[in-house]
Structure 1
Amino acid sequence: MSSYGDAGRGWRIFFWVAAAFNFLIGLAGMLMPESPLDGRIIGLLVFAFGLVYFIVASDPMRYGRVIWAGVLGKVGVVALLGPTEFGGDGSGLVGAVLAGDALFAFGFLVFLFTRADAAD
C-alpha cells in the first residue's frame, strides 16, 4: 500500500485543493465585516467541510466514503443558489464559487465511482 492509501497522488492533491477552496471561501464568509450572522455561520460550515476534505486527502481510500457528504452539500448549494446567481440577478463572485462547487462535486463523483479501480 502506498502512502496515499492506494488512491494515487493526483487524488490526494485534488482533495488538498478542495480543502483549500473551502478554507478560503469559509474564512471569507466568516470574516467579512458586512457579512450577516447567517453568512458567518454558513462560512463556518463551509470551512468545516474543508476539514473533511483535508482528512480525506491524507488517505483517500480510507476516508473517501465521507465525500458523499461533500457531493450532497455542493450539489445542494448549486441547486439552491444557482437559479438566482446564473439567472442574471446574482453576483459574478458567487457564480464563480458555485461553478467551483459544481466542478468539485463532479470530481468527487468521479472519485467515488472509480475509487475501486484506484485500489487495483
Structure 2
Amino acid sequence: MSGWRLFLWIAAAYNLVIGLGAFLAAEWGSPGAVNGVLIFAFGLLYALVAREPKRFAPILLAGILGKAMVVLMLGPPNWTDGGDPAIGAIVAGDLLFALGFAAFLIALRRRG
C-alpha cells in the first residue's frame, strides 16, 4: 500500500500546486479563480485518500470523472500544433493520474 500512498500524495501535491497557481494567476471572482479553487480542493481530497486509502478510496471516482473530462476537453486542442504546451503537459498529468486512480481502485477491489 505504501507505493499507492506515495502516488496519492503526489496526486494531492499536483492538484494543490496547480490549483493554487491557477487561483493566484486569475482575477478575483473569475472563472479561472473558481477553477483554481476547485482544483485545489480536489488536492485536499486526494490528501485525505492518501492518509487513509481504504477508507476514502471512493472519493477517487469523482477524481477520475473530473480528470477524464479535463482530458477530453483540453487534451486534443493542446496536444496538437497551435496548442499551449504547458496546458498540454498538465492535461497529460491529469490523464496519468486518472489511469492511476482507476488502477488503484481495481487493485483495492481485487484485494477485497
Shorter-chain TM band: over 0.9
Partners of 1:116 and 1:48 lie apart in 2 by: 26
Aligned match of 1:84: 77
Shift in Å, 1:84: 1.1
Counterpart check, 1:56 vs 2:35 = no
Match of 2:21 among 18, 28, 31: 28
Partners of 1:89 and 1:106 lie apart in 2 by: 26
Shift in Å, 1:108: 0.4
TM-score where L is the length of structure 2: 0.93
Give structure 1 regions of 4+ aligned residues with deviation exceeding 3 angstroms.
none
Shift in Å, 1:90: 1.6
* Identical-pair percentage: 45
Which structure has more relative contact order (CA 8 Å, sep 6+)? It is 1
Structure of greater Rg: 1
Paired residues, number? 110
Partners of 2:21 and 2:83 lie apart in 1 by: 18
Alignment RMSD, CA only?
1.1
Matching residue's letter, 1:28: G
Partners of 2:73 and 2:66 lie apart in 1 by: 10
